[in-house]
Amino acid sequence: MTNDVLAYKSGDLIIDTQTASASSATYENEILFDNSAEALEVIRHSCAHLMAQAIKELYKDAQFFVGPVIEDGFYYDFRVSEKMGEGDLKAIEDKMEELVKAKLPIEKIYITKTQAIGHFANDDLKQEVLLRIPDGEVTIYKQGSFEDLCRGPHAPNTKYLRFFKLTRVAGAYLGGDEKREMLTRIYGTAFCDKESLKEYIATIEEAKKRDHRKLGAELKLFTFDEEVGAGLPIWLPNGGRLRSKLEQFLFKAHRIRGYQPVRGPELLKSDAWKVSGHYANYGENMYFTVIDEAEYGIKPMNCLGHIKVFQNEVRSYRDLPLKFFEYGVVHRHEKSGVLHGLFRVREFTQDDAHIFCTPDQIKENVIEILSFVDSLMKAFDFTYEMEISTKPEKSIGDEVYWERATQGLKDALGENGIKYGIDEGGGAFYGPKIDIKITDALKRKWQCGTIQVDFNLPERFDISYVDANNEHARPVMLHRAILGSFERFIGILTEHTAGEFPFFIAPTQAVIVPIGEDHHAYAKELASELAGENIDTEISMKNESLNKRIRNAEKMRVPMILVIGDEEVKNKSVALRDRRERTQYNLTKEQLILKMKEKMSEVHF
């Protein structure tokens, strides 16, 4: 089947064989049955319907909403009277295999929207789908006894859907609206061959082991509490130390590059958000309150505070570029259904910065930011790629500003020889941006940092500098975050490293294990000296066996374990177990401190 034609391609459009056979056009660009992106879209779209058919045969009252293809698979939202869980997936998979073996042809049926409304008159979920479809011709795909509204594309037969896996069950609000009913959602994936599916399943299993929510609890990094509220992380001592170290290293890196630390308030009058355009274009994502009969908005971004810093005094062209940075705490109204550990929260802290410069300085400053990005990504062993996001449908500002800003980003990337993709319409409402997408150890891509060029906010707030002709000129504002947010980045880093954090930010860099009470005094002395070198340690003095205390330290992914007995007290030394190097040896206290200081200084930003 590997040489079978699954569909055709016309420009960027995939034309399935059902559509091609109903057309008089000739399509020369064949999509073969393989693991190409186009073939997988067809296979996975069809597999979503295969899953729905299996569910319908097992649960007669099942009704279906939508079942799209997503980045690494597919899902279907549906209503069923029974509560479903992970344990039900095997039975659905078994039924899907039966349907594959039946080699059911997949038929495409053309009808009018009016006919479709009548055809699905007793199905309120299908009526919801039809509300979202323009008037005119619609299509139904049918296989065996199952049919559903769909625009395709689909494989010609269920025999092409052999290699699939259902991955999880979740809940999903109807149409993504948290005020409406909760439907059941099942996720799955599919490939054209067994080997690719097997590799994907292995990656999924490894991802479960690395899940930052699981490791966050095991390593005592953070927690959530319903009494506090959903999406509001609470940082525990281990997580607090990890985060603080990350902040300290970044602080130094910013200062070296000429950034000035500033801080804006977390609460600003709504009038300011109206001037900026956030009130009209981003208000649904913000929290508001009333103080002394005036409305205030809790900041979802840090840019307004930095604009006010710029406005605080008269600026000269000689002062530019001016670089302000802040670890800014922001709040955004996220729907409860999309909250996910540290990846999607309602309160987070951005490693935010804004650069005010002349239009001629855009390219050089974007290039400098790209260099900063590169050094940080290398420090954490991430590969990354860039994508330029252009003007969205909901935006502010003159078209000429958008064109200049977008071209400035393209010029900076082009001059550096950096390849980039284009995300049409994906920009912020006030300017185009470069999105930094990192790839982790499991080859998953994550969108983290961003670089945005903004001509609009300086115009709206009427900020200016005095140019060489002693006249007022408008600066350009570059918005920039490299990690994106500390929360999201730490979540990604936790999964990337499986909790084996780089030594320089590890929450606890060494656990000191005194064998007996006679060794406690030296353990405390050593911990104090290491603390003076900004190295965090813990002393394991519980009434447990030596082996158990060492095992507990290993479970916490601590880089170094320092065992202290009679010889070590006598010689002022330690018996070092290095988890990363997988070695054991003795060192004097001075040698240990020197080794640790070297490890702390291995990373340069």
The mean per-residue pLDDT over the stretch 469-483 comes to 95
Residue pLDDT, tens place only, 350-376: 999 999 999 889 989 999 999 999 999
Arithmetic mean of pLDDT over the chain: 93
Residue 450: beta bridge partners?
A: 435, 481
Secondary structure string (H, E, C) spanning 4-65: CEEEEEECCEEEEHHHHHCCCCCCCEEEECCCCHHHHHHHHHHHHHHHHHHHHHHCCCCEEC
pLDDT above 70: residue 48: yes
pLDDT class of 279 with cuts at 50, 70, 90:
very high
pLDDT above 80: residue 2: no
The mean per-residue pLDDT over the stretch 206-229 comes to 96
| CATH code given to domain 39-210 | 3.30.980.10
| Phi, psi values for residue 89, rounded to 5° | -65, -35
From CA 94, how far away is CA 51, in angstroms rounded? 10
Residue pLDDT, tens place only, 71-108: 889 999 999 999 999 999 999 999 999 999 999 999 99
- The confidence score (pLDDT) of residue 604 equals 66
Domain 508-600: CATH superfamily, name plus number:
Anticodon-binding domain (3.40.50.800)
The mean per-residue pLDDT over the stretch 520-535 comes to 95
Number of Cβ atoms within 10 Å of the Cβ of 276: 24
In the chain, what percentage of residues exceed pLDDT 70? 99
- The confidence score (pLDDT) of residue 98 equals 97
Higher per-residue confidence, 498 vs 389 = 498
The mean per-residue pLDDT over the stretch 531-542 comes to 94
- The confidence score (pLDDT) of residue 1 equals 64
Read off the DSSP letter of residue 507: S
pLDDT class of 505 with cuts at 50, 70, 90:
very high
Architecture per CATH, 239-496: 2-Layer Sandwich (3.30)
The mean per-residue pLDDT over the stretch 383-390 comes to 90
The mean per-residue pLDDT over the stretch 490-513 comes to 96
pLDDT class of 571 with cuts at 50, 70, 90:
very high
End-to-end CA distance of the chain: 52
Q: Where are the domains of the chain?
A: 39-210, 239-496, 508-600
Residue positions annotated with a catalytic role: 303, 332, 350, 352, 354, 433, 479
Contact 509, 501 (CB under 8 A): no
pLDDT class of 273 with cuts at 50, 70, 90:
very high
